[in-house]
Amino acid sequence: MAKAAWAESDVWSDKPVDVYASPGVFSGHGLLTSAESVVESLWRRCENELLQIRKLNDDWDGLGAKHPRPEVVDSVLELVSQFRKESQVPPPIRIVASPAGTVVLEWQLPSVRLEVEITKPYQAECMLEEQGKPIQHWEQSWLPPKSRKSGQVLIGGTSVPITESNAPRVQAA
């Protein structure tokens, strides 16, 4: 019989749990830890917010805002799902529709802010603001799941192998 030990959560386990090293929703013990439960609920919140954004009509703000096209929101849902599966990217702190009909995801850490604006299906304009560094802007594309080959990323409309220099990721300072 395994000895139970406190794993810095409200769930007992036989050893400490590294929440972000866990490959999925459940810890290695098959139980959801408090930290995992919080992260999982944040991912569900993101998906629910995107589903609400998908329902917006034109003039949703009363000032003439365009609604995000369903295919744009669907591509964001796929991106969020991929981030969730990989467990290397935390849930964004904010997801909003813009008046231009785009979807904006935002991450904030004490010295880093990342904003990803999905402008077209599978295409985004990114802005990274790091304390003490110039603001960086770039465009990022990714492949739809059906056309994605394992280990490939879309750059400039061409599918290329993922390398250290082109791998999409959010990095903390």
Backbone angles phi, psi at 116, to 5 degrees: -120, 115
Domain tally, the chain: 1
Give 32-74 pLDDT, tens digit per residue.
567 677 888 899 999 999 999 999 999 999 999 999 999 999 9
Q: pTM (2 decimals)?
A: 0.65
The verdict on residue 105 lying in a domain is yes
The verdict on residue 3 lying in a domain is no
Contact of 39 with 91, CB cutoff 8 Å: yes
124: left (phi over 0), alpha (psi -120 to 50) or beta: beta
The verdict on residue 75 lying in a domain is yes
Structural domain containing residue 76? 21-161
The verdict on residue 8 lying in a domain is no
Q: Which residues pair with 54 in a beta bridge?
A: none
C-alpha 142/C-alpha 121 separation (Å) is 9
The verdict on residue 9 lying in a domain is no
The verdict on residue 47 lying in a domain is yes
